[in-house]
Amino acid sequence: MGNAKKIAILTGGGDCPGINAVIRAVTKKAIIESRMEVIGFEDGYHGLVNNRHRELSYNDVSGILTLGGTILGTSKIANPYRYAFKQDERVEFRDMSKNAIDTIKNLSLDCLVCIGGDGTLGIANRLFEDGVPVIGIPKTIDNDISETEITFGFDTAVQIATDGIDRIHTTAQSHHRIMILEVMGHNAGWIALHSGIASGGDIIIIPEIPYDIDLVANVVIQRNKKGKRCSIIVVAEGAKPKGGEAVIKRLVKESLDPVRLGGIGFVLGEQIEHLTGLETRTVVMGHLLRGGTPTAYDRVFATMLGTEAVTMIQQNTFGYMVGVKNGTLTHVPLKKVAKGPRTIPLNHDLLSTARSIGTCFGDEWH
């Protein structure tokens, strides 16, 4: 075997189209070019803490390029440094990072490839600081990981959202209704912005721009007076009114990020119908955006990220994430990635582009 290495892969956080394409790329290149032994930890950091893993052979990853989700399973709550244990009705937290690190040592792993969002990569950075050779790959439909221009899964989510909004147009026109479509995105409005522009949304409401409900209602009324008897409103789940807060659907105490957003579409729907007197309906895309076959772009992009991660392993370049800057793959220190989410800058070209064609963002309208 010579200089062959033994590496492991885990996928953390929410599922996302394109994860399997990354797993496939990492495994195939590692085996073909360097005869590495590859294993996969099951259910994210749960598998690392509890030493649940399986071998990944060339044949194991053949045929998974087009599959959504992750063949390894994932978890949004597993955190070795704050591992949740349920005691009756109570949840207790313990530091299980020693178990995780011992698993890596006992398996004689040369590198751990962590595929995930800012939470997963933040944990990966802590593991690196504790001596674990780690490489991160950015994954989220929200497109909100700092230090990279785009994440895989985002393109697929935008395409699914756009298709949904396109379908909403016809029923909105038939019944002369106001239709609200709520999309995911956490505290960033990238999905709403891109899908809203792509589908001709009349009003796009995003977390970065607090909205004025009276202005939104007035836009709908003015459109109606001009003969536009239906309006399409695209809203990100993390949107909030001026001086107000985002709508929280529920809290998950054992999670690294306990807040689960959702429901802003129904709140908006009731308010707009009350203020305008026009029939309003809300559709929540929710987890539909996470599922199914990844787009061609995400398959190609995920493959590029996975193969670049193996190149980094071959070069012993640890403690970095594969990112994108100016359209080119780059290596970003994980400590930079852990600093927080990437939201839409208020001077972003897409905002001015949308405003120039009459799109309202709930703050002003001409």
- Where do the structural domains in the chain lie, given as residue ranges? 6-152+294-337, 157-290
What letters, b where the CB count within 10 A reaches 16 and e where it falls short, cover 98-112? eebbebbeebebbbb
Return the pLDDT at 255: 67
Residues 102-119: tens digit of each pLDDT: 999 999 999 999 999 999
Catalytic choice (142, 144, 155, 202)? 142
The C-alpha atoms of residue 44 and residue 52 are separated, in whole angstroms, by 10
Query: Which CATH topology does 6-152+294-337 take?
Result: Rossmann fold (3.40.50)
Query: With a cut of 70, which residues of the chain have pLDDT below it?
Result: 1-3, 254-256
Q: Which helix (H) or strand (E) holds 212?
A: none
Return the pLDDT at 262: 86
Pure H helices in the chain: 19-34, 45-50, 58-61, 97-106, 118-129, 154-175, 190-198, 213-225, 264-276, 296-314, 334-337, 349-356
Domain 6-152+294-337 and domain 157-290 have a common topology: yes
| pTM, rounded to two decimals | 0.93
- Could you tell me which CATH number the domain at 157-290 has? 3.40.50.460
Residues 3-53: tens digit of each pLDDT: 679 999 999 998 999 999 999 999 999 999 999 999 999 999 999 999 999
Contact 202, 232 (CB under 8 A): yes
Return the pLDDT at 2: 40
Return the pLDDT at 214: 96
CA-CA distances (angstroms) from residue 22 to 192, 272, 288, 309? 25, 43, 21, 9
Return the pLDDT at 251: 72
- The reply to whether 142 belongs to the active site is yes
